[in-house]
Chain A
Amino acid sequence: MSRYLNLTRTQWFVLLSVGVPVLAFSIWALLGNARLYLVTMLNGLTLASLYFIVASGFTLVFGLMRNVNLAHGSLYLLGGYVGYAVANYTGWWIIALAAGFLAAAIGGLLMQWLILRHMQGQELRQTMVTIGLSIVIADLLLWIFTGQVYQMEAPSLLQGPIRGIPVINAYSAYRLSLLGFGIAIGLFLWWLLNRTRVGMMIRAGVDDRGMLAASGVNVNLVFAATFALGAGLAGFGGVIGAVELSMVPGEDTRLLLASLIVVIVGGMGSVIGAAVGAAILGLAEAYGLAYVPTYSVVFTFMILILVLAFRPRGIMGKAA
């Protein structure tokens, strides 16, 4: 046991200063209203899965290309709208999911292929281009879909609550399935990055782009594929979020902010970091909303400040 607790003094300090208040709060809340506490935890974790799905695409693109894609929120919205339209037309949620993924992936591919490819290495300029693109895409979407609120229906299989869970009694089946989606995508990304040839190339590209190109790999192709995958994950998240949240102009900003905070807290370019960051942000938002509704955003913000103050590169971040 002592082998695992071999921590430095700073780690002890962080563990105690974070762990003790969290533990105290948990005990207090569990004794007060156990159901509220557990439901909030589920809410937080399901929200975290959505954040993870969207932010993992963001962090994937950033890790490989050092490209902060600030149009990521717009791709999320694009995926959501396309998914909504397809679901309306075909009536199949699974097809909508695929369509949302494809639409955003193609959008991302076009962005990378037509514009970003030509300014490789100019990080600031790329970021500004994505800002410009996000303005244009947001306005085009507003033009086509107007400012109306769209709410997608959950697939019939996942409609309604699941009953008979101890303490909680009933919980939305769809929200629970989000947890599954998040875990599935996390496992898929882990498998892709660690167990496949493409993943090997991506990891090699993260470490040294020039060397990868020198070993005969078409780096541009790897970049385009990664960008498409990252953008596609945003679109995928868009379709999922279209049921759970709703599609309105402005959601793109919200998800972009969430992705930003998730990767800043978790560490940029790390998929595991995105999972950790998403869990922290999702739980913080859910508990903040349930227990201190007026200042839930400030709560999130405090976490951001604390992490930046102690670990400027994020929890899982490595020095660039």
Chain B
Amino acid sequence: MSAARWRNAMKSGAQSSNVGRPNFSTQATTASSRDSYAVADSATVFSRVQRSVKPRHLLVASVALAFPFFSTPFFTFQVMSQSLILGLIALSLSFLAGYGGMVSLAQMTVAGIAGYGVAVFGTSSAAEISLGWPWWVAVPTAVSVAVICATLIGWLSVRTEGIYTIMITLAIGVAFYYLVLQNYSIFNGFQGLRELKPPTVFSVNWRQPTAFYFMSLFCAMAGYFLVRYIVRAPFGVALQGIRDNPRRMEALGFHVVAHRVAAYALAGLIAAVGGILLAWYNALMTPGSVGVSWLINMLVIAVLGGVKHPIGAFLGALIFVLLQTFAIDVIDRERFNLVIGGVFLAIVLFSPDGLLGLWAKLRSRFGPNQTITTTQRRMT
């Protein structure tokens, strides 16, 4: 049964249990979340938005929107845009890891496939390779190719579990790295493809820092809310059930493999968008951008922020970029890996839930008794 058909069956299964299974789509959700989306007419949607929006959300949103107007272009482009893009790719990893229980190191590879896709289908410095399609053909094609690859990677790696998944996806990622390094006919080998520019649409040059920032912000927000939405939807709840106890979910009649592969495909979509933005940000795609250090950096970013909440990826990315940009002024430029490796090690050793976990610990100690990171949907 395909994942899409399965989702439909699950949705209809709630009302009519004619498919021979009880209406577990409501059972599988927690009692607290049932009330808020079982009945979803427009009035409750509005009140739900009103209830779930807190002052800190408005604060973050207004800072994010106003940021480029009182900051330097350097900060807007180099720090904030890069954090948003890296955060978006890391989000795909943290979605898989946090909600699906599958730590895939190949997310950067998927992003890289999308980036190379834009370079090959669109325009780049290597005219004999690039097909020169207009952006509105090249970008969707690149995203589709990346999503198909992500699905295949997912199909391959869901045959394994836990730590095996890390090994398989790492092997796939490194294999792709060697492929682009050695292949000159499509990927232009070590040189890579250069001069990748975002298109000029609606007479706005999206290469310009402020415009690029807003484009990244839009994509990042879209990814963030997509993940927030998915993890509350029946599919997401089933995915979390599979993370916690695959055998039980299998016994309940859920197709475990289909759910996992669908999660890979969804994460692939997020990573692909991030990958295209990253290609435009760097203006080039080289084997180095899908090298093993970047595969691992994505894990570092996701774990640094914390994988139990989608915002963790962006938090981790911001810290990562800030360290990358400013820590090298304090210490030797060459020693960035030592710093980031050390920080990562410290986080894994002392706070496995990342900075969000640290924050939750502090809150539970000093603040009112409430945690910010929950594996399930947060109570409103």
Contact = CB atoms under 8 A, between A and B. Distances in A.
Contact of A135 (B164, B167, B337): B337
Interface string A294-308: 111110110011001
B338 A139 contact: yes
A257 interface: yes
Contacts, number: 104
A129 B338 contact: no
Contacts of B172: 301
Interface stretch (A119-127, A218-226, A233-241): A119-127
B34 interface: no
Contacts of A308: 156, 159-160, 168
Interface in B32-87: none
A123 B178 contact: no
Interface string A125-138: 10111011101101
A129 B174 contact: no
B335 interface: yes
A132 B182 contact: no
A53 interface: no
A298 B352 CA distance: 36
A124 B338 contact: no
A312 B292 contact: no
Interface stretch (A23-31, A37-45, A91-99, A260-268): A260-268
Interface stretch (B235-243, B259-267, B341-349): B341-349
Contacts of B335: 139, 143
A128 B168 CA distance: 15
Contacts of B171: 257, 260-261, 264, 304
Interface residues of B, number: 39
A115 B342 contact: no
Nearest to B299: A131
Given A124-B103, A125-B348, A261-B171, A143 B334 contact: yes
Contact of B164 (A128, A268, A295, A296): A268
Most B Cβ at <10 Å: residue of A138, A294, A295, A297: A297
Given A139-B335, A297-B179, A304-B171, A129 B345 contact: yes
B138 to A, nearest CB: 25
A253 B175 CA distance: 11
Contacts of A261: 171
Interface string A60-73: 00000010101000
B201 interface: no
B143 interface: no
- How large, as a class, is the contact surface on chain A? 35 or more
Nearest to B155: A309
A264 B167 contact: yes
A123 B103 CA distance: 12
Contact of A133 (B156, B167, B168, B345): B345
A51 to B, nearest CB: 14
Contact of B175 (A68, A70, A143, A297): A297
B163 A127 contact: yes
B147 interface: no
Nearest to B156: A308
A261 B179 CA distance: 16
B364 interface: no
Tell me which of A124, A132, A294, A304 has the highest count of chain B C-beta atoms within 10 A of its own C-beta: A132
B345 A260 contact: no
B170 interface: yes
B183 interface: yes
A142 B160 CA distance: 34
B119 interface: no
B182 A127 contact: no
A136 B296 CA distance: 12
A297 B162 contact: no
B170 A260 contact: yes
A142 B337 CA distance: 10
A168 interface: no
A295 to B, nearest CB: 8
Contacts of A300: 175
A305 B176 CA distance: 13
A146 to B, nearest CB: 10
Contacts of A133: 341, 345
B340 interface: yes
Contacts of B150: none
Contacts of B215: none
A297 B171 CA distance: 11
Given A261-B171, A294-B183, A132 B341 contact: yes
A260 B337 CA distance: 23
Interface in A227-281: 253, 257, 260-261, 263-264, 268
A253 B292 contact: yes
A294 B187 CA distance: 12
B303 interface: yes
B166 interface: yes
Contact of A136 (B156, B185, B342): B342
6 contacts: A133-B341, A139-B335, A139-B338, A260-B170, A297-B175, A298-B175
Interface of B: 103, 156, 159-160, 162-164, 166-168, 170-172, 174-175, 178-179, 182-185, 292-293, 296, 299-300, 303, 334-335, 337-338, 340-342, 344-345, 348-349, 352
For the complex of A and B, the 9 pairs showing the least CB-CB separation, nearest first, are A135-B341, A132-B345, A139-B337, A136-B341, A297-B178, A312-B159, A139-B338, A301-B175, A257-B174
Given A128-B299, A297-B182, A308-B156, 7 more contacts: A66-B163, A127-B163, A135-B341, A139-B341, A257-B174, A294-B184, A301-B179
